[in-house]
Amino acid sequence: MSPHPSPTSPLPSFQDGSIDAMLGHAARATLPYKRANRDEGHATAFWFNELIPSEGAAGEGAATDGEVVRRYLVTAAEPTRVDLAEITLRPELCDPAPSAARLVMTGFADGWTPLPGLGVAVLPASVLHTYADRKGWSWRTDEITDGVAARAEDLAGIGTDPVRAYVLGHDTGEGGEREQAVVVGVLVRAGDGSIRWGGELPQGCVGAPVFTSVILKKNQFKLVCAGVALPADGRSPGHHPVATFDRIRTALNPDAHPEPAGGGSTRRWWRRRAR
């Protein structure tokens, strides 16, 4: 296939280009989950990695041993408040594919750290890596990277005029199969300065990453993950608030990180050296 369109081929639309970029970067970043043994609490979590200075950092942002990557699962806090949860194991995320199609986690709520005031919770990725190691397989996922997670300047252009946006989540489907879906909608800024998803979300997509594209110049854009889709609150405009990544970053500051809900130490966060 030619890497360039022929003179008679239409250029991909801005929306198509944004969706292609999103799926190319994050198709394997999402995990569907729900309350175990009940048809309720359907939500989506996603993998995120954050670059931070190493513990031996010296000077302004300099790191003697390079940067450190912290890996989390991120989702809306409300659906995590259950003791027993069921995660759907997407075969393409596991190597080799596990025999079980579901991962049932006890003490689910205790593993998550809620980020105060945001409606977001994070789980150390080590929990799922430990599970996979014990079962004899490993995760093969995409991650929302620090470079794609939006900063305040990426979101500054969102105002009262709707901006096209996309949620990458897992609908419940007619048979509860939790297939991945791209939901097309808009983002708008409310009078209080918060950013909101302007429309409905299919059941199961709460907690999913919300993407938008920032136009750089003619025919060029960059894709950013604006934040996390939160449960509907009935306010207007839009039913669903979005917890934006500029605020999530602040809450994840190592110097101000809250203790995990179960009372553990922040040393539980799984780290690896950046390559």
Range with the poorest average pLDDT among 138-152, 172-186, 258-272: 258-272
**Tokens 């409310």, residue located:** 190
Alpha carbons 164 and 212: distance in angstroms, whole number: 6
Structural contact between residues 76 and 124, judged by C-beta atoms closer than 8 angstroms: no
Task: Dump pLDDT digits (tens) for 177-187.
Answer: 899 999 999 99
pTM for the complete prediction?
A: 0.84
| pLDDT computed for residue 12 by the predictor | 52
Residue 3, Cβ density class (10 Å: 0-12 exposed, 13-18 middle, ≥19 buried): exposed
CA 13 to chain centre: 25
Two structure tokens written together for 256: 């101000």
Q: Is the dihedral of CA 64, 67, 71, 77 positive or negative?
A: positive
| Cis peptide bond upstream of 96, omega within 30 | yes
Task: Dump pLDDT digits (tens) for 222-257.
Answer: 999 999 999 998 876 678 999 999 999 999 875 544
